[in-house]
Structure formats: C-alpha cells, structure tokens
Amino acid sequence: MAITVSSPSYPISPLLRSRFQQTFTITLNPSTNTLRRTHLCCVSATTREPLYTSLSKPVQSSPLAHLQPYLLSEWQLILKGWLCSAASVYFLSLTVPSIALLPRVLCESTGPQRPIKEGLRLAVLAAARFATAYLQHAFLLEASLRAANRIRVRVFDRLVHNDLGFFEGNGGVFTGDVAHRITSEAADVADMAFALLNTVVPTALQLVAMSTQMVAVSPLLSLVSFLAIPCMSFIMAYLGKRLREVSRESHFSIARLSAYLNEVLPSMLAVKANNGEKKESSKFQSLAHEAMRDILRKKKMKEFIPHAMKLVYIGGLAALCTGFLVISGESFDGTKILSFSTALALVINPIQDVGKAYNELKQGEPAVERLFDLTRFESKVMEKTNAIEVEHVRGDIKFCGVKFRYGDETSPPVLDGADLHIRPGETVALVGPSGGGKTTLAKLLLRLYDPLCGSILLDDCNIQDMILGSLRNHVALVLQDAMLFSGTVAKNIAYRAPNEEINMAQVENAARIANAHEFIKDLPNGYETNIGPRGSLFSGGQKQRIAIARALYQNSSVLVLDEATSALDSRSELLVRQALERLMANRTVLVIAHRIETIKMADRVVVLEGGKFKEADKSTLFGANGLLESTEQSSIVV
Ligand SMILES: Nc1ncnc2c1ncn2[C@@H]1O[C@H](COP(=O)(O)OP(=O)(O)OP(=O)(O)O)[C@@H](O)[C@H]1O
C-alpha cells in the first residue's frame, strides 16, 4: 500500500524547499500496517525531474538509534569512563560529610593536629575526585570522537559508492553541503555523543549519591526538594524543541555558506575575468550574515537553557523548602544544614549538566539526521552478486538498442535505441550537436549510469554482468578536464595503483610516451613534486599530458577520450597530439572528437543525433565546401 503525502516531515534545507517540490511515498507493511520504508522522490518544480532516488533503509525514528551501534563499538572506553565516574562520585560522597564537619572540628579542637588531619583528608579526597573526573572525561571524550569518526568514515564510504547521478545534482545535495555535513556536523555529533555519555551514568550516579545524603539528613525536606524537578522538565521540553528548530536553521545556513564557497572558490578565474568580485563579495556577505544571525540565535538559546533551568529549579526549591519549613516547624543543627545544602548544591550541578546535555542532544539531532541522510540514497547501478571478473578483453564494443534518459518519463531521451558496433583496435570518432549525448554515451560505457533498455556488450559480455571494478579496469577515460588531484605527480599518474604499489619505472615510461617526462623532470622534486590543488601548478597542455600518462599507466584495451576543446599553443598542441596518437595505438578508441585532425585520424566517424547513430563518410565530411551540416552544428574546432 502506498500513500503519497505532500507535506514532507523529512528534513530539507529551505533552499532546496524553495527550489524543489517534494513527493513522499510511504510504504506500509501490509501485514502489520507499520511503517516499513520511506521512498523519497524529490522532483524539480519546473521539470518534474526526479532529484532523489529512493531511501533504502527502514525509517529509524530517533537519531539516537543511528548513533547506538557506533557508541556500542566503543563500549570498552565508555565502561572505563563510567567506572571512573563511579569512583569520582564515591570520592565526592566522602567529601560532603567531611566539609560539613569541618566548621565543628575547627571550633572544637584545642590543638592543630585534628584540623590538619581533616584538612589533609579533604585534600586527598578532592585530588582523587578531580583525577577520576578527569579520567572520566578523557575516556568518554575519546569514545565519542572515535564513534563520530567511524560515522564520518562510514558516511564517506557510502557516499563515494553512490551513483554518479548523486554527484551530478540528482541527489539534490550540493557538494559544499556534503563537505559541511561530513566535517562540521560530524563534530556536532561527537559533542552530542560526549554530552550523552557524560550525562547518562555520571549524572545519575551523582544525583543518587547526593540525594541519598539529603535523604539521610531530612527525608521530608528532600522529598519537597525533588518536587521542583517536574516544573523543570516542562520548561526543558519546550526550550529543547525550540533549540532543535533554531539549530537546524543554523545548520542549513552554514551549509549554504559552505556550498557557496565550494562553488565560487574553484571558479575564481571566471569571477575575475567578469569583474565579479563585488557581486560575489556582496553575495557572500549576505550568506555570512544569515549564518551569523542563525548561529547567534542558537548560541543564545544554548546559553539560556541551563540558566533558565537552574533559575526555575532554585526558585521552585526555595519556595517549596521555605513553605515546608514554616508549616512543619522542623529545625536543623548547623552541621546538618551545611551537609544538606552542600548535597543540594551538588544535586543542582548535575541537573544543570542534564540541561547542557539536553542542549547538545537537541543541537546534535539535526546533524545526525543530515549526516545519515547521505547514506540513504540507493545506487541504481548495482553490481550483480554473480558478476564476473573479466581478465582480458579484445575491445569489441556493441551498443544494442540503447535507450537512456536522465530523470523520469517526462524528460526527453538522450539515447533512443542507439546501435553501434566498434571492432577491436578500431578508432571511432563521435561527433554530433552539443547536448546530443556524446558524453552520456561514454558514461554508459563505463557503467556510471545504466541504460533504460538495450544493452552494451564488451567482447560479447553484457557490461551489467561484469564486476564494476573489472569493467573500469578495461576502459580508460580521458576527459576534457584532466581532473588532477592534490598529491605528487607520480601519484596522479598511477592514480589507480595503491600508494605502496606505484611502479616508478612504469610511471616514468608512461610520462615519456605522453611527452610529459621533459617538464616533470624539471620540477623541483621531479615525480615527487606536489602538484597543488587540481594541478594548479601546470598549464592546460601539461595537465592533458599527465592525464594521458595516467591512461597509459592504466594500459586498458578500450579508451574513451573526450577531446579537449580548449585551444593550446601550436607546440603544446603538437605534443598533446603526439601523446594521444601513441595512447590510441593498438586500442579500441571511442573519441568524442572536437578537432578535424582527430576525425582524420579515426577509422570511422559516427554522428550522434536525435538519440541515434548515423555513419558519416569522411570524404564528404571534408568535401570542397568544407564541413557537413551535422558537423557545423557540433562543437568541432576548425
Ligand atoms: N547529470 C545530468 N542530469 C540531467 N541531465 C543531463 C545530465 N548530464 C547531461 N544531461 C543532459 O543530457 C543531454 C546530453 O548531454 P551530454 O553531456 O551527453 O551531451 P554532449 O553531446 O556530450 O554535449 P557537448 O558536446 O556539449 O559536451 C543534454 O541535454 C544535457 O542537458
């Protein structure tokens, strides 16, 4: 049974809320009528294109349920922390009567011996209390940080295994937002875990110990004192709800700020070239102001809650105790009063701690939800359980009636029954109008997306039957944007190899063939030079040659090449072209061609238009009149 509800209870940023219309399909378990799964379908308000895939996991009502397994995995540290807390409370409970006795000892003793002895006893007890309290904090802090780190690692691991569609915007989450969740919000989760661990047992122990002392002095007055607690619970519940809302808003504003920075900083070239500095500064200012306002609201609320609780508790307590004392006429001696009030003060402290922990809990809840949201998207590209490892391929590629579209049925198909056979060792140049689906075809060949119908065969084996890693080992991809990572040149060329298995001889050989060795050897540390973020140290042509060296290192039988459109100077162009020719030799190559020379080099040219392939004749393509109609529309650089 499926119900579609229009008002989502699922957390979503106001930014997304304003952009997208959401539809939630809640599936009920037919036998028990209980909520089993939530399928989330987020569609664009304008195109109605789905932006989320379905949620895969049963709904867990409480963020604490998410945290539980990670905390349990740190049980040894938690146990140590709680044992230290028990010891700390034990020393505290010995300290309280000693403090109460001290004035009498001072008044009654004739020599210095007894006060010194009592003073020393108190000092030892206080030192023991502080030492055990410190160890309690240290163990619990380590447990919560380790648990949060495990969550962070797990979330990232799920994230990198998501479909490419998730990162291409179909997940409805901006990359800056993702980075914010994994860094800053995971830190909030650690604070929340610590607050919980440091409150549940230690506070309960201290409350029990101090209450016992109070009850021992005056059971009735203690009972009256505890009556103030329910007043506090109401206030705490109300303020906690408010804090949760305020906290969620502040998470969203920071996430927006982070997403903005993530977008604008790598695009500084475009900003500067378009005189956009002022515009971007004012955009940042407004987002930063929004974030500051929301954070301030959260911080004020956080500060307010423990004080409000303390005030309510002490106020209620004073009223109740005074009323009780007046009515009952009970009287206390000095020691009893001191003992009772010390214990009472030490009850107020943990109650205040409960308030603070409640703060952290309410503030951490949205962070837990947002963090675990990232693990809920289910990949559409799934590896079959009986998928096969293919050792060697000749490079025979067949696209058989491939149909594909991004989004739902309302979006137009990018490929519509496309058929193409590329024989082993053949170089096929793919041309066609911009937006015709050339890059999409490359993505399908690497199984970054699956076709809606039809199949893609590599050496007559459906790529959906192959282990994903095995397929991607046999198909190398060289993109227009070289996509280098911060790290050394060697690590970039041998990106596929684990760091410890980099074969330097192969790296150097690949670099030589790719015409990259000459400039690499002149770098300060040669192959060990750090290339800066996204290879900022290199020119466009150098980056392309490193990307070609990377593909050569991979040594796959099939090469998919999205030729760069950006023009290089003639020498650089020649070096890149030579490198490409060497890379393409003895491989099956599908090249998304943007240059006439590449088309001339190819064995065949196919035009991708209207979602289908058409064979083109090279001689007519470069006839006396120049370019054919189809190439005129395409992005061929002449
Ligand atoms: N991740 C995506 N989500 C939704 N639509 C997409 C996505 N990627 C591409 N498209 C759309 O699919 C169509 C084909 O895009 P594709 O990038 O494959 O074209 P192309 O032929 O490579 O274009 P160009 O030559 O300009 O690079 C375009 O209409 C594009 O808007």
Q: Does residue 438's CB lie within 6 angstroms of at least one atom of ligand 1?
A: yes
Question: What integer pLDDT is reported at residue 397 of this predicted model?
Answer: 93
How far apart are the CA of 441 and the centre of ligand 1, in A?
10
Question: What integer pLDDT is reported at residue 366 of this predicted model?
Answer: 85
Q: What is the pTM of this model?
A: 0.69
Indicate the top mutation candidate among 163, 438, 608 to test ligand 1's pocket, ranked by most ligand atoms within 8 A of CB: 438
* Atom nearest to 635 CA in ligand 1: 25
- SS3 of residue 314 by DSSP: helix
Question: What integer pLDDT is reported at residue 11 of this predicted model?
Answer: 40
Residue of the nearest CA to atom 5 in ligand 1?
A: 406
Q: Per residue in 248-274, pLDDT tens? A: 888 888 888 888 888 787 777 677 777
Question: What integer pLDDT is reported at residue 398 of this predicted model?
Answer: 93
Contacts of 168 (CB under 8 A, 6+ apart): none
Q: Is residue 621 over pLDDT 50? A: yes
Question: What integer pLDDT is reported at residue 29 of this predicted model?
Answer: 40
How far apart are the CA of 231 and the centre of ligand 1, in A?
61
Residue of the nearest CA to atom 1 in ligand 1?
A: 168
Q: Is residue 326 over pLDDT 70? A: no
Helix (H) or strand (E) holding 325: helix 277-328
Provide ipTM, 2 decimals.
0.97
Indicate the top mutation candidate among 44, 47, 440 to test ligand 1's pocket, ranked by most ligand atoms within 8 A of CB: 440
Q: Is residue 31 over pLDDT 70? A: no
Mean pLDDT of all residues in the chain?
A: 77
Q: Is residue 293 over pLDDT 70? A: yes
Question: What integer pLDDT is reported at residue 116 of this predicted model?
Answer: 82
Under 8 Å between Cβ of 497 and 503: yes
pLDDT band at 34 (very low <50, low <70, confident <90, very high): very low
| pLDDT cut 90: percent of the chain above it | 16
Q: What is the DSSP track for 390-430?
A: -------EEEEEEEE-SSSTTSPPSEEEEEEEE-TT-EEEE
The angle subtended at Cα 391 by Cα 499 and Cα 582, nearest 5°, is 70
Q: Per residue in 103-118, pLDDT tens? A: 777 777 677 777 788 7
Task: Specify burial of residue 108 (Cβ count, 10 A radius: 0-12, 13-18, 19+).
Answer: exposed
Residue 287 tokens read as 């987002």
Report the distance separating Cα 626 and Cα 638, nearest Å.
10
Average pLDDT over residues 607-623: 76
How far apart are the CA of 299 and the centre of ligand 1, in A?
45
Q: Does residue 436's CB lie within 6 angstroms of at least one atom of ligand 1?
A: yes
pLDDT band at 305 (very low <50, low <70, confident <90, very high): confident
Contacts of 456 (CB under 8 A, 6+ apart): 397, 398, 399, 400, 402, 444, 445, 447, 462, 463, 464
* Atom nearest to 407 CA in ligand 1: 4
Question: What integer pLDDT is reported at residue 619 of this predicted model?
Answer: 64
Q: Does residue 435's CB lie within 6 angstroms of at least one atom of ligand 1?
A: yes
Give 151's Cβ-side CA count (13 Å radius). 36
Under 8 Å between Cβ of 47 and 410: yes
Q: Which of 43-57, 269-283, 449-463 has the lowest mean pLDDT?
A: 43-57
Question: What integer pLDDT is reported at residue 337 of this predicted model?
Answer: 67
How far apart are the CA of 393 and the centre of ligand 1, in A?
29
Q: Is residue 2 over pLDDT 70? A: no
pLDDT band at 15 (very low <50, low <70, confident <90, very high): very low
How far apart are the CA of 566 and the centre of ligand 1, in A?
18
Question: What integer pLDDT is reported at residue 41 of this predicted model?
Answer: 36
The angle subtended at Cα 194 by Cα 193 and Cα 198, nearest 5°, is 120
Average pLDDT over residues 474-501: 83
Highest mean pLDDT among 161-170, 395-404, 580-589, 615-624 belongs to 395-404
Report the distance separating Cα 528 and Cα 549, nearest Å.
15
Question: What integer pLDDT is reported at residue 624 of this predicted model?
Answer: 46
What angle in degrees, to the nearest 10, is found between the helix axes of 186-217 and 113-160?
Answer: 150
* Atom nearest to 634 CA in ligand 1: 25
Q: Is residue 45 over pLDDT 50? A: no
Q: Is residue 10 over pLDDT 50? A: no
How are the residues of the chain apportioned to helix, strand and coil, as percentages rounded to the nearest 5? 60, 15, 25
pLDDT band at 457 (very low <50, low <70, confident <90, very high): very high
Q: Does residue 440's CB lie within 6 angstroms of at least one atom of ligand 1?
A: yes
Closest by CA to 170, choosing from 22, 305, 53, 40, is 53
Tell me which residue has tokens 């303020």.
239
pLDDT band at 516 (very low <50, low <70, confident <90, very high): confident
Residue of the nearest CA to atom 26 in ligand 1?
A: 434
Under 8 Å between Cβ of 507 and 553: yes
Under 8 Å between Cβ of 38 and 22: no
pLDDT band at 171 (very low <50, low <70, confident <90, very high): low
Residue 414 tokens read as 């990018």
Q: Is residue 16 over pLDDT 90? A: no
How far apart are the CA of 50 and the centre of ligand 1, in A?
16
Higher pLDDT, 585 or 560: 560
Indicate the top mutation candidate among 43, 162, 404, 439 to test ligand 1's pocket, ranked by most ligand atoms within 8 A of CB: 439
DSSP state for residue 162 in the 8-state scheme: S
DSSP state for residue 168 in the 8-state scheme: I
Q: Is residue 628 over pLDDT 60? A: no
Instruction: Give the chain's length.
Output: 638
Under 8 Å between Cβ of 412 and 589: no
Q: Is residue 27 over pLDDT 50? A: no
Q: Which amino acid is at 212?
A: T
pLDDT band at 81 (very low <50, low <70, confident <90, very high): very high
DSSP state for residue 274 in the 8-state scheme: T
Question: What integer pLDDT is reported at residue 327 of this predicted model?
Answer: 63
Closest by CA to 366, choosing from 617, 587, 184, is 184
pLDDT band at 220 (very low <50, low <70, confident <90, very high): confident
* Atom nearest to 164 CA in ligand 1: 1
What angle in degrees, to the nearest 10, is found between the helix axes of 63-72 and 186-217?
Answer: 90
pLDDT band at 144 (very low <50, low <70, confident <90, very high): very high
Q: Does residue 406's CB lie within 6 angstroms of at least one atom of ligand 1?
A: yes
DSSP state for residue 388 in the 8-state scheme: B
Average pLDDT over residues 455-475: 92
Indicate the top mutation candidate among 49, 163, 406, 590 to test ligand 1's pocket, ranked by most ligand atoms within 8 A of CB: 406
Q: Between β-strands 588-592 and 427-431, what pairing exists: parallel, antiparallel or unpaired?
A: parallel
DSSP state for residue 68 in the 8-state scheme: H
Sign of CA dihedral 518, 521, 527, 531: negative
Q: Is residue 451 over pLDDT 90? A: yes
DSSP state for residue 7 in the 8-state scheme: S
Q: Does residue 434's CB lie within 6 angstroms of at least one atom of ligand 1?
A: yes
Q: Is residue 143 over pLDDT 90? A: yes
Q: Does residue 168's CB lie within 6 angstroms of at least one atom of ligand 1?
A: yes
Q: Is residue 222 over pLDDT 90? A: no
Is residue 178 left, alpha or beta, with left meaning phi > 0 and alpha meaning psi from -120 to 50?
alpha
Give 375's Cβ-side CA count (13 Å radius). 17
Average pLDDT over residues 437-456: 91
Q: How far is CA 593 from CA 232, 527, 561, 599, in A?
A: 71, 31, 8, 6
How far apart are the CA of 405 and the centre of ligand 1, in A?
10
Under 8 Å between Cβ of 38 and 52: no
How far apart are the CA of 435 and the centre of ligand 1, in A?
5
Q: What is the DSSP track for 495-533?
A: TTS-GGG--HHHHHHHHHHTT-HHHHHTSTTGGG-B--G
Average pLDDT over residues 126-145: 92
Residue of the nearest CA to atom 10 in ligand 1?
A: 406
Residue of the nearest CA to atom 23 in ligand 1?
A: 435
Q: Does residue 439's CB lie within 6 angstroms of at least one atom of ligand 1?
A: yes
Average pLDDT over residues 521-526: 89
Q: What is the DSSP track for 562-611?
A: E---S---HHHHHHHHHHHHHHHTTSEEEEE--BHHHHHHSSEEEEEETT
